[in-house]
Amino acid sequence: MPKRSFATENCSLARTMELVGDSWSLLIVREALLGASRFDQFQACLGIARNVLTVRLRKLADNGIFESIPLADGGKRLQYRLTDRGFELVTLIGAAMQWGDRNLFKPGRHPVRIVDQATGHEIPTLELRSSTGQALDVDRLDFLPGPGATAMTRRRLAARTPPVR
């Protein structure tokens, strides 16, 4: 059975995971946030196989997360720069880091702090909030059809039952 593609599903989670939901893609973006821009830099930092890195960088560039521009050395080598769309992934990366900090490391033993440069303070935990800034527990959320919902998405959401807690 061929690997199923989620790229056309009527779900932004499925499409996003299709694009960056593999073990490497967000780590490549992480390295770019830490300053990597050349193939060899990504390769050295991540210890990723060159053929895998080639495929991942191309997919990320084809989908507008990186732009690739020739290096100024006159050769054929490329430089990979995050686009605005790529920089926007910092929220997703931050959410994943904070979840991992809390759940996959000993309490208070997280490896990296994301810090506000202006104050030196670590940023607080991301939470889904109301339009007035109140943190919303999952029990207080609804998942409703958006303007791009298909008939099937509408049926699925209408059949939603709150999860048992």
Q: Name which position in 2, 4, 75, 151 contacts a copy of itself (CB under 8 A).
A: 4
Q: Name which position in 18, 61, 68, 78 contacts a copy of itself (CB under 8 A).
A: 18
- In whole angstroms, the minimum distance from the beta carbon of 59 to a copy of itself comes to 14
- In whole angstroms, the minimum distance from the beta carbon of 15 to a copy of itself comes to 4
- Binders of a copy of itself among residues 74 to 133 (CB under 8 A) are 81-82, 85, 87-106, 108-119, 121-124, 126-131, 133
Q: Does 19 bind a copy of itself (CB under 8 A)?
A: yes
- In whole angstroms, the minimum distance from the beta carbon of 75 to a copy of itself comes to 19
DSSP letter for 65, please: S
CB 67 within 8 A of CB 84: no
By CB atoms closer than 10 A (0-12, 13-18, 19+), residue 162 is: exposed
- CA distances (Å), origin 87, targets 54, 68, 146: 20, 15, 25
Whole-angstrom Cα Rg for the chain: 19
- In whole angstroms, the minimum distance from the beta carbon of 143 to a copy of itself comes to 6
Which distant-in-sequence residues (6+ apart) come within 8 Å of 91 by Cβ? 126
Q: Does 54 bind a copy of itself (CB under 8 A)?
A: no
Q: Does 44 bind a copy of itself (CB under 8 A)?
A: no
Query: Which lies closer to a copy of itself via its Cβ, residue 70 or residue 105?
Result: 105
Please report how many Cα atoms fall inside a 13 Å half-sphere around the Cα of residue 163, on the Cβ side. 8
DSSP state letters, 8-29? TSS-HHHHHHHHH-STTHHHHH
- In whole angstroms, the minimum distance from the beta carbon of 54 to a copy of itself comes to 15
